[in-house]
Amino acid sequence: MTEVEKIIKECKIKPEKKSENGKTVLTGRIRFVETKNYDRMDIAEMKPQILAYFQAEIDAQEEREAKIAAIEGLQEIRKARAEIENYHCKFQASFEGENAVGGLFVGKKPQYDLDAMAQKYPRAMAYLKAEDRSHSANYKYSIIGEKAKERIINEPDNYETIIAEMEAEIKKATNYWD
Segment 162-174 mean pLDDT: 93
Question: Confidence class of residue 106 from pLDDT cuts 50, 70 and 90?
Answer: confident
> Shortest CA distance to 83 belongs to which of 115, 101, 110, 65?
110
In this predicted structure, the answer to whether residue 112 has a pLDDT above a threshold of 70 is yes
What CA–CA distance (Å, rounded) separates 10 from 30?
14
Are 34 and 76 in contact by the 8 Å Cβ rule? The answer is no
Residues contacting residue 115 through CB under 8 Å, at least 6 positions apart: none
Using CB atoms within 10 A of its CB, is residue 162 exposed (0-12), middle (13-18) or buried (19+)? buried
pTM: predicted TM-score of the whole model, two decimal places = 0.82
Average model confidence (pLDDT) across the chain: 91
Segment 85-104 mean pLDDT: 85
Residue 42 to residues 8, 39, 176: CA-CA distances in angstroms? 12, 5, 52
115: number of Cβ within 10 Å: 9
Residues contacting residue 55 through CB under 8 Å, at least 6 positions apart: 26
Segment 68-92 mean pLDDT: 94
pLDDT tens digits, 25-60:
999 999 988 788 888 888 899 999 999 999 999 999
Are 105 and 134 in contact by the 8 Å Cβ rule? The answer is no
